[in-house]
Structure 1
Amino acid sequence: MTSFAQRCCPYREGCPDSDHVLGADFVQDPFPALDRLRTEGPVHLVTMPSGAERWLVTRHDDVVRALEDLRLSNELGRGLRQSLPPEPLPPRAQVGLRTTQLLGRAMANLDPPDHDRLRKLVVRGFSAKRVEGLRGRIQHNTDELFDALGDAAEFDLVEAVANRLPITVICELLGVPATDTGLFRTAASVVGGHIADDEDALRVVAALDAFDAYVRELIGERRAAPRADLISDLVTTEADGEPLTEDELVSMIGIVLFGGYEPSAQLIGNALVALLRHPDQLAAVRADFSLIPAVIEETMRYDGPVTPGLSRYALEDVEIGGTTIPKGSYVIVGTASANRDPEHWADPAAFDIGRPFTARSLGFGHGLHYCVGARLASLEVETVLSTALRRYPRLRLAVPAAELERRPGSVRGLCEIPLRVD
């Protein structure tokens, strides 16, 4: 008998449903499954490791078109209410609802014209001039983190540097007191992470509640006494002649935090691990630090922090690659798969900082929702890589690369990166 999924998705005909169930091995290494699905067809109905069913777009050209298609909405909360179970909501459903309430009025979760109105405000805060002005401060913060390691022969890059630098930088940019960055780090880490059980889900909700209350307090303080920080800019600047509402401010501050922390933290680790696994390219970078931007660009293509891609909600039936995605469906626009599409890159599974980029990597997104913090993330990664390689001439992984464990969640990163420096 043909399953519902096979009737909906023509590329599943003749395939067992299990071929489209992305299990625990997908978390550790998603690329074999993505390669297979991309070869089989441009769009698939898949079951994610979380158990959620999603339409997955796999090929580069289709992914670009999908990211440009306004029928695929960023307002993911549109479909949330009708998909929620009856009250009382189980803890996992509470997480989805609370996250939507908290971030739903941020530009990244809105469509035009609301998106355009709000994006103008944040783009100023991440201009090339402002980001470049942070270079000295980012270097200072990075040096402090490495100094704190002292003479340790081994350390975990994730905990020592990668998780600490981006939260410090984004909190300084926002104007959050250094004593309160822990609350922001906790809130940021739970949004892109994996929820293990109901108890974990309730902790996530509590963290988001605490973040919400704290940010509203900061907003009140900046309204009364603005400072030279991004929160003050958002509070005091009007968007198309109107000040932002408090809910919009909370969402905007939240998305700046979440977007500026998790992807940057994971990109730092992914980039350094990729280099350490390729000694010839590591040697080339040690000899010429001007190659580091190429390392970052290639890492975003080869092993970017967002896997398998960016979520969208179908406002109407949308045809992609001969498949009609039904109205009301949740879609993953597969940037990770697109970035390894052999139609655009030779030997796409190879890490090669010297490769000619014949297509644009989609690791930072594309179009209206291209990441406004891309410059800042790149500067943080550049600073960490150059500092680590300069300080540690014999830097290497302390365990075989195959033993490095990926953490589940929508942001792809490593649980730990043990390094040896002696």
Structure 2
Amino acid sequence: MTSLAQRCCPHLAGVPDNGHVLGPDFVQDPFPALDRLRSEGPVHLVTLPSGAERWLVTRYDDVIRALEDPRLSNELGRGLQQSLPPEPLPPRAQVSLRTTQLLGRAMANLDPPDHDRLRKLVVRGFSAKRVEGLRDRIQRSTDELFDALGDAPEFDLVETVANRLPIAVICELLGVPATDTGLFRTAASVVGGHIPDDETALRVVAALDEFDAYVRELIGARRLTPRADLISALVTAEADGERLTEDELVSMVGIVLFGGYEPSAQLIGNALVALLRHPGQLAAVRADFGLIPAVIEETMRYDGPVTPGLSRYALEDVEIGGTTIPKGSYVVVGTASANRDPAHWPDPATFDIGRSFTARSLGFGHGLHYCVGARLASLEVEIVLATALRRYPRLRLAVPATELERRPGSVRGLRAIPLRVD
């Protein structure tokens, strides 16, 4: 750890130079490390499994304050240029630059007032009325995915349902033809994923380039012939008397896709696995599907898809819990840790759908950047859980839960969820 880090994080003074290294075990189960860090202090300098060094905020009240602090910017690209190595850029640096170019003008990656201007346009597409209007379509898609399994006694929920339903819903909402959903799924799956080598990095850049070109072509088509879809609405909408630029449109389509696909896909899996690991609560849900919203809320707290948290960039020195985070630092606001803070939830490591919430779970974010697609994600999970439990009275994991393997990356999900239905 650097001397600066030791000065800013006094309780870590004297530890080895690499500080808190979150190794491969963190990917499989981050919560022991997060519990330890949270108990030791509110802010730590850590090395993530990806090798990136970040300041991590661990406690609920501090996380809330950090998410509300305008000095912690969502515009992560502000610090990118000075952190890039010299030309020619190595493949992994190319991924960082290309992702920033593609998504940098999306509302989720902007601060007010630009964020507010763009959010007003998108939030209309995710209104409660519009999302509820998708219920029958989501149910049909879910039934089709399960129908395709036929009489198979075993299947992988990730590949057959969880990875397919959200992309189909998002593409329909945007107005992407069903024949092109594969391109969108490929692009969505590479953002936030683990990049183990240069070859993978180059494939990611190529996928993002292809996505960028396709979306620009689709935008051009909607300018000529608008339809009843979200891309057309964004193309024709005005905010404060101005229309979105083409770069803003591409970024907005990208963030709707990337924000609506991976978290929803992983929440479906995390919720079902949590239920299957708790037979008593599973039986209660089978007896009353009205409990499913409580399952979703508790899953977002107990094992939400974003781990360890949301990224920010310090525009100036920021003091949190007695620790100064230096200007120009990248920060992870630890929502996963905050959601298990014993100061707000008794027995936080226990999955309990009957829990009385005395604080709001931060799985969908907080404040200005609360996820606009939260309702849609919850509806997808609700429909998949109800459909699976209705169809398969004996549904169970096909392997011990300890054998389920998590993927590296910023979205916490399982590589596969093998299920038995006989």
What's the TM-score, normalizing by structure 2?
A: 0.99
Which residue in the other structure is 1:156 paired with? 156
What is the CA-CA distance between 1:9 and the residue it aligns to?
Answer: 1.5
Distance 2:413 2:17 in 1: 28
What is the CA-CA distance between 1:10 and the residue it aligns to?
Answer: 1.4
Structure-2 change in CA distance of 1:285 and 1:19 (3 Å): farther
Q: Tell me if structure 2 keeps the 8 A contact 1:91–1:201.
A: yes
Which residue in the other structure is 1:210 paired with? 210
What is the CA-CA distance between 1:417 and the residue it aligns to?
Answer: 0.1
2:324 partner letter: T
Distance 1:87 1:18 in 2: 27
Following superposition of structure 1 onto structure 2, how do residues 228-239 of structure 1 map, counting pairs within 5 Å? 228-239=228-239
What is the CA-CA distance between 1:60 and the residue it aligns to?
Answer: 0.1
Which residue in the other structure is 1:261 paired with? 261
1:29 equivalent to 2:29? Answer: yes
1:120 partner letter: K
> Any idea what the Cα deviations from partners look like across 1:274-329, whole Å, max 9, x if unmatched?
00000000000000000000000000000000000000000000000000100000
1:344 partner letter: H
What is the CA-CA distance between 1:6 and the residue it aligns to?
Answer: 2.2
Which residue in the other structure is 1:111 paired with? 111
Distance 1:241 1:353 in 2: 46
Distance 1:126 1:185 in 2: 20
Structure 2 residue runs without a partner (length 5+): none
Structure-2 change in CA distance of 1:17 and 1:281 (3 Å): farther
Q: Tell me if structure 2 keeps the 8 A contact 1:11–1:44.
A: no
- Root mean square deviation, CA, Å: 1.0
> Any idea what the Cα deviations from partners look like across 1:78-99, whole Å, max 9, x if unmatched?
0000000000000000000000
1:319 equivalent to 2:319? Answer: yes
Distance 2:197 2:239 in 1: 41
Distance 1:331 1:19 in 2: 15
SS in 1 for 2:149: coil
> Any idea what the Cα deviations from partners look like across 1:385-422, whole Å, max 9, x if unmatched?
00000000000000000000000000000000000000
- Consecutive aligned runs of 4 or more in structure 1 exceeding 6 Å deviation: none
Which residue in the other structure is 1:382 paired with? 382
Which residue in the other structure is 1:171 paired with? 171
Distance 2:261 2:23 in 1: 27
Following superposition of structure 1 onto structure 2, how do residues 325-364 of structure 1 map, counting pairs within 5 Å? 325-364=325-364
What's the TM-score, normalizing by structure 1?
A: 0.99
SS in 2 for 1:67: helix
Which residue in the other structure is 2:79 paired with? 79
> Any idea what the Cα deviations from partners look like across 1:360-403, whole Å, max 9, x if unmatched?
00000000000000000000000000000000000000000000
Q: Tell me if structure 1 keeps the 8 A contact 2:311–2:333.
A: yes
Q: Tell me if structure 1 keeps the 8 A contact 2:21–2:48.
A: yes
Distance 2:339 2:277 in 1: 20
Aligned residues: 422
Distance 2:18 2:202 in 1: 31
SS in 2 for 1:238: coil
Q: Tell me if structure 2 keeps the 8 A contact 1:73–1:312.
A: yes
What is the CA-CA distance between 1:13 and the residue it aligns to?
Answer: 2.6
SS in 2 for 1:6: helix
Following superposition of structure 1 onto structure 2, how do residues 9-408 of structure 1 map, counting pairs within 5 Å? 9-17=9-17, 20-408=20-408
Distance 2:362 2:19 in 1: 26
Distance 2:198 2:168 in 1: 30
Distance 1:304 1:128 in 2: 22
Q: Tell me if structure 2 keeps the 8 A contact 1:289–1:386.
A: yes
Distance 1:326 1:420 in 2: 51
1:110 partner letter: L
Distance 1:388 1:15 in 2: 49
Distance 2:184 2:229 in 1: 16
What is the CA-CA distance between 1:7 and the residue it aligns to?
Answer: 2.7
> Any idea what the Cα deviations from partners look like across 1:331-354, whole Å, max 9, x if unmatched?
000000000000000000000000
Q: Tell me if structure 2 keeps the 8 A contact 1:43–1:323.
A: yes
Distance 2:18 2:421 in 1: 44
SS in 1 for 2:328: coil
Distance 1:92 1:264 in 2: 26
2:118 partner letter: L
Distance 2:10 2:294 in 1: 39
Structure-2 change in CA distance of 1:39 and 1:17 (3 Å): farther
Structure-2 change in CA distance of 1:323 and 1:286 (3 Å): same
What is the CA-CA distance between 1:239 and the residue it aligns to?
Answer: 1.3
Distance 2:402 2:363 in 1: 24
2:327 partner letter: K
2:366 partner letter: H
Q: Tell me if structure 1 keeps the 8 A contact 2:19–2:45.
A: no
Percent of aligned positions that are identical? 90
> Any idea what the Cα deviations from partners look like across 1:160-213, whole Å, max 9, x if unmatched?
000000000000000000000000000000002100100000000000000000
